Every structure is written in structure tokens, then in C-alpha cells.
Chain A
Amino acid sequence: MIPGIGALAQDTLWCFSQVKGTIEIGATEADIISTVEFNHTGELLATGDKGGRVVIFQREQESKNQVHRRGEYNVYSTFQSHEPEFDYLKSLEIEEKINKIRWLPQQNAAYFLLSTNDKTVKLWKVSERDKRPEGYNLKDEEGRLRDPATITTLRVPVLRPMDLMVEATPRRVFANAHTYHINSISVNSDYETYMSADDLRINLWNFEITNQSFNIVDIKPANMEELTEVITAAEFHPHHCNTFVYSSSKGTIRLCDMRASALCDRHTKFFEEPEDPSNRSFFSEIISSISDVKFSHSGRYIMTRDYLTVKVWDLNMENRPIETYQVHDYLRSKLCSLYENDCIFDKFECVWNGSDSVIMTGSYNNFFRMFDRNTKRDVTLEASRENSKPRAILKPRKVCVGGKRRKDEISVDSLDFSKKILHTAWHPSENIIAVAATNNLYIFQDKVN
């Protein structure tokens, strides 16, 4: 079933499917999930955490016996991607937290993904081994090489089955190219190159070459005193390998064409919405800072997330977005408090569904929001252990802004700001979503009839 088509008549019903991770007691800060990503087929789901670990879940084959339950995700591989490092020159510790994971499209039996912390990008190969060769006669029982003079027969080893083993090996390490903190990585549609972006620069890499990268964007001013803007996110166009976009802390998006020049400091397109004078405040710039930018699967649109809204832009119209969705506008009157407790600096991500008809993003109190671009309807759902019965339908939540609070509503003042949904992912072709709530990963699916 293609999501979006057929769902116009009625809203999708979302059900709880699974939750991964420990319940509160015993959870450490290292377990906090910092990135979630499906691979291109949706067969694999990867998470990265603050402790530098990557956990990959694989969807089990659907069985004829359990028609009503679509394939569940089970742990496929776990490995330590990044370790904490110490930069002796600056006397600084480099965090091992995984900022982003991006999958490469599958080209052979093995799976490849990129994972990055603040400074170093790594290419990991995840492969299965279910056979091993047996029958070598070159070593004795203790494993020592035999004297060649004693070997009189040529024995060809035979492959025998063994228990399935999934191994992850680091195939490339792309280091020492970023002075500032890496916030994004994006695989190019040519599958030969990728980019990594930090606060001030974007570098282009070839997968085969680790000791060199091309700098394609550099917004560092000659005088650091003049610094007023940083890069917050970047992504390649899904089909045009020469095109990419990057967003800034001032709420602007620049589209660049690598054919125009080697250094793409001059943009091809510049997307910015004029400020609404009625909403102006001291915090206008902070809330306009874009925390995520994503191309639609079609490549025709980009979606941006700032503190209070999600916006959809048409690549052909630079002066304003074509759609704006309010994520949690009730926070607009609380900006001062959110500034005091630093919540105003939280960076939320946003995702498209497979058909680009629905967009999703997170909020506080473990709420997350979906907006249907066609019906213009939206829904607020919650990722919580209370709604964790198998196939339980998620009940829409509502935040009460003022006046009388209805029974099922929650008032703004009761929201838990420590429970934030920053990272979510949507299966590339089905209505399956993964929602990271601190150290737990929730998987929801739409109701199967």
C-alpha cells in the first residue's frame, strides 16, 4: 500500500509495534539515542547513541502464519563506532556521540553505512558470515604451521555451514578535516562521493580516499569577530549529484551547484522568508535558526525545521515557503523561559514519508507531530510506555493552551521538557516509523486491516 494514496479519505491510524531500550532505571547518558536512520529498502534500521555505539535492527521476514503482524525489527548488529578521543593540541576531549548515520545504497551482499561524531567520519561494512572453510592440512592440531616437507597431499578446504555471524568492520576513517563540529553527512547520488558539514565548512569526499577532501563551502570570516552565522545542516539533492543545500543559524537556505565553481561560497539560490514584524522579539533569530533540512524524495521540495515550525519550500520559489506548519505554537509565549533553561536551543529533525505526502517532526513531552500535506490535517501522538501494548492504537494527544482543560488534554505548564523527541525516521515505502525518545526507540506501524 502506497502511503498517502487511499489515506486521503480517512486518517491513518498508528499502532504501537515495538520499543527498544531499557526502562528508566539503569539507563545511562551513554544510552541516549542521537540519530536514527532506515536504509534504502527499509530492511535495516540503525541507531547511534551518545556512547558512540551503533545498533542495527533488521526486519524479520513476514511469515504466512502471522498475517496480522508485519515484520518486526530485531537486533542485527551492535558495534562501537567511535571512542572518546583527546585532542592534545587543544587540550580537549572529543565526544564519541554519533551525530549522524547515513546508509549507502546496497550494491552487494554487504551493507555499508557512514557514521560520524564531531570530528571523524567512518565507513562501516556490515556483512554476514554463515559458512567457514574447513579441512586445511597446513597446520597441526595446535595451530602451528607444519613443515612443508611433511605435507604430501593437496587438500582443498570445504565450506561448511556455521552459525550466522554478523560482523562490522571499519573500512575507511575520514579524519582531520574538520576544525569545528560536524553536524551533517550526506551521500551523493553518484554513490562515489559524500559531503560532511561542520559549523563553518563543508567538505566533499571520495569514498576511496581518506587523506584528502575538497572544501566546497567555507563561511569562516577573515576576522572571527565578524562571525554572525553558522552552517546548521546540509544535504545532497537526491538525483542531481551536482546540487546540494545547506541551512544556517539565521534561518536561510542556500542551494549550490558544484558545476558553477570549485568553491561554492556563492549560492545558486537563496531561500529566506521575510520576518513577520508582529512576531518580532529578542528571540526571533534563535527561533529562526534551522535545525534540519531535508530534500523530498522527488527532489522538488525541501523541508526545514526551526524551533516552532516546519516549512516546505519549492525549489523554484526562493522568497517564501509554500507551506508552513506550526509544531507547538503554544510555546511562543514561553520563549523567555525556554531561553533561560536552554530548551530554545534544542535541535529537532524532520522527515518525509515515502510519497512526500506526510511530514513528521518531534516536540516535547515525548510528543511527535505529523502533517498531511494534502488534507492539511495534523495529529499529535505520544511515545510512551503507557501506550505500549502490542498493536494498541495511538490516541491523538492535544495540548490545552488556555481556558478550560478537557479531560484528555494536557496543559502547556504540565509538559515535560526533558522528554524531547529530536530524532525520528520514516520507512522509505511503508507506514512504519521509528521515534527516539531519550534512550528508547519506539517503532509504530499503521493499522493493518
Chain B
Amino acid sequence: MMLSKGLKRKREEEEEPEKEALAVDTWWLDPRLPAVAQAPPAVPSNSLLDLSVLKLHHSLRQSEPDLRHLVLLVNTLRRIQASVEPEATLPSVPSPPEAPGVAADSLLASSDAALSASMASLLEDLSHIEGLSQAPQPLVDEGPPGRPSGGAPPGLGALDLLGPATGCLLDDELEGLFEDIDTSMYDSELWAPASEGLKPGPEDGPGKEEGLELDEAQLDYLLDVLVGTQALERPPGPGR
């Protein structure tokens, strides 16, 4: 589905506000700022949508994402998406069935897997949009969401969102979501669990180390540790 018909801005018009935007935007790129070191990798374009998706990806890759941060990001993404494609509605993707034997309120990662799945579904939907909005930065801040006026950056691929905590607990269903997605734009940042049969991206070192290749011996060891930990962690009785 093409969105970019008639929306491409002329190059000359693009440059001036671009310069202004840069003058406004780069003042914060002070090496003193710790945020710079942690910032997501440089975006090819200024698109707010690209930035938001990258942030979401970055946030989901944390071992335990900050829920508030995540929710605010997703809601902002929804707003941006709504302004790009106002008539589209988010498909409701059924959440993957929880791992058998796991209570809904348990502390296991299945609830996080459901959250990841919802993010995945959101982003998969976004991936269908080609020609992303390139709202110039100053306009975005001043008035109602800016009209899409950007060029046509390559379509965003849905990102591989599996974090190390959820990788081994996801169902096969979810794997299918990713098989036909082009993630070449972002693959260098991805961690791809090699053992799950998912489409692997180009490998990076940390990804390989985090790969969940649990064999029986390791699983047994893990269970032993769990049982041992639970014995240690029993809270003290009342009246201590």
C-alpha cells in the first residue's frame, strides 16, 4: 500500500527547515550529556516515527523494560501512526496462549511475552506503511500533528523484539509473524536467538552469547538453582 503519492516535499524546501531543525536540535548533543551515550543509534532520517520505533526497539531489548517508558512510547507511536494513516485501525492480534500451567498472575515471563507480542503486532502493522511521515521538528511541537510531508524512506520492517527473557518461552505461532519481514535496515542491532528456528539476521557478537541454547543438562542445572534459590529466599516469619 503506497502512501507517498503526492506527499514528497521538494528538496529545496526540505533544506531550510532542516537547517533550522538542526540548529535547534543539535544543541543538546553535548558530550557531557549521559543520554547521548545511551541514545539509540543514529537514524537515517529525522522522521519522528523512525525515532520512536527505534526507541521502542531499544527499550524492548533491555533485559527488563521500564513499563512506563514502554507504554508512553507505544501510545506516542499510536498517535504518530494515527496522524500518518488516520483511517487505519490497529488490528487486534490474539495474544499467544500462555505457557501451560502458568497462572495469569504469575511472575513468569509469559505476561511479558504477551506485551512483546502486542508491540510486535503494532510494529508489524506499522511495517505495512511505506513512505513514512517526515514531519519537520519545529512544526511537530507547535501545533496539531503535522501533515505527512516526508519523502519515502524504505519501509520499516517489524523488528525482532524477542528479549533474552522471553525467547525460550514463546510459542511457535509468534515465529510466523517475523518470517516475511524485511529487517535488513536494523538487523545489525538485533539479537537473534539461534536455537529457536526463527529467521536469523546477520549475527553480532553479543547476540550469539545471549543465544538460548539450553540443552537438558543446562535445564537441569537451572532447575536446581531455582529450587535452591527458592529455599534461600523464603521470607522470615512474622515476629522476627
Q: A-side interface residues toward B, CB under 8 Å?
A: 88-93, 171-176, 179-181, 199-200, 208-211, 220, 222-225, 227-230, 232, 249, 280-283, 285-286, 289, 332-343, 345, 413, 416-418
A210 to B238, CA, bound (A): 6
B36 at the interface (CB under 8 A from A): yes
Interface string of B86-106 (1 = CB under 8 A from A): 000000110100000000110
Known: A179-B107, A345-B69. A335 touches B235 (CB 8 A): no
Nearest-neighbor residue (CB-CB) of B31 within chain A: A418
Known: A90-B107, A91-B63. A224 touches B32 (CB 8 A): no
Within 8 A of A (CB), among B165-222: 165, 222
Nearest-neighbor residue (CB-CB) of B115 within chain A: A224
Looking at the assembled complex, report how far the CB atom of A338 sits from the nearest CB atom of chain B, in whole angstroms.
7
Jot down 8 A-B pairs with beta carbons below 8 A, ordered by A: A173-B235, A200-B67, A336-B137, A341-B28, A341-B39, A342-B39, A343-B28, A345-B68
Looking at the assembled complex, report how far the CB atom of B222 sits from the nearest CB atom of chain A, in whole angstroms.
7
B41 at the interface (CB under 8 A from A): no
- Please determine whether B48 and A336 come into contact, CB atoms closer than 8 angstroms: yes
B236 at the interface (CB under 8 A from A): yes
- A171: chain B residues at CB < 8 Å are 240
A108 to B69, CA, bound (A): 42
A220 to B38, CA, bound (A): 30
Nearest-neighbor residue (CB-CB) of B111 within chain A: A224
Looking at the assembled complex, report how far the CB atom of A371 sits from the nearest CB atom of chain B, in whole angstroms.
25
B44 at the interface (CB under 8 A from A): no
Among B3-11, B70-78, B123-131, B148-156, the one that faces the other chain is: B70-78
- Please determine whether A343 and B107 come into contact, CB atoms closer than 8 angstroms: no
- A180: chain B residues at CB < 8 Å are 67
Interface string of B40-67 (1 = CB under 8 A from A): 0000000010010001000000011011
Most buried by A among B30, B71, B104, B237: B71
Nearest-neighbor residue (CB-CB) of A332 within chain B: B141
- Please determine whether A281 and B140 come into contact, CB atoms closer than 8 angstroms: yes
- Please determine whether B236 and A224 come into contact, CB atoms closer than 8 angstroms: no
Known: A230-B67, A285-B75, A343-B35. A336 touches B141 (CB 8 A): yes
- Please determine whether A224 and B114 come into contact, CB atoms closer than 8 angstroms: yes
- A333: chain B residues at CB < 8 Å are 138, 141-142
- Please determine whether B68 and A225 come into contact, CB atoms closer than 8 angstroms: no
- Please determine whether B27 and A413 come into contact, CB atoms closer than 8 angstroms: yes
The 7 closest A-B pairs by CB, nearest first: A225-B118, A341-B35, A224-B114, A199-B67, A224-B115, A413-B27, A336-B137
- Please determine whether B33 and A418 come into contact, CB atoms closer than 8 angstroms: yes
Nearest-neighbor residue (CB-CB) of B72 within chain A: A286
Nearest-neighbor residue (CB-CB) of B164 within chain A: A91
- A332: chain B residues at CB < 8 Å are 141
- A336: chain B residues at CB < 8 Å are 25, 48, 137-138, 140-141
Nearest-neighbor residue (CB-CB) of A94 within chain B: B64
- Please determine whether A175 and B25 come into contact, CB atoms closer than 8 angstroms: no
- Please determine whether A227 and B39 come into contact, CB atoms closer than 8 angstroms: no
- B229: chain A residues at CB < 8 Å are 88
Nearest-neighbor residue (CB-CB) of A283 within chain B: B76
A279 to B102, CA, bound (A): 45
Q: Which of B68, B137, B235 contacts A199 (CB 8 A)?
A: B68
Known: A336-B137, A342-B39, A343-B35. A175 touches B95 (CB 8 A): no
- B112: chain A residues at CB < 8 Å are 224
- B145: chain A residues at CB < 8 Å are 280-282
Q: Which of A227, A413, A418 contacts B115 (CB 8 A)?
A: A227
Q: Which of B48, B165, B239 contacts A91 (CB 8 A)?
A: B165
A325 to B4, CA, bound (A): 43
Known: A228-B71, A338-B28. A172 touches B240 (CB 8 A): yes
Looking at the assembled complex, report how far the CB atom of A390 sits from the nearest CB atom of chain B, in whole angstroms.
29
A232 to B178, CA, bound (A): 33
Looking at the assembled complex, report how far the CB atom of B39 sits from the nearest CB atom of chain A, in whole angstroms.
6
A417 to B142, CA, bound (A): 22
Known: A336-B137, A417-B28, A418-B35. A225 touches B67 (CB 8 A): no
- B141: chain A residues at CB < 8 Å are 281, 283, 332-336
Q: Which of A199, A200, A341 contacts B33 (CB 8 A)?
A: A341
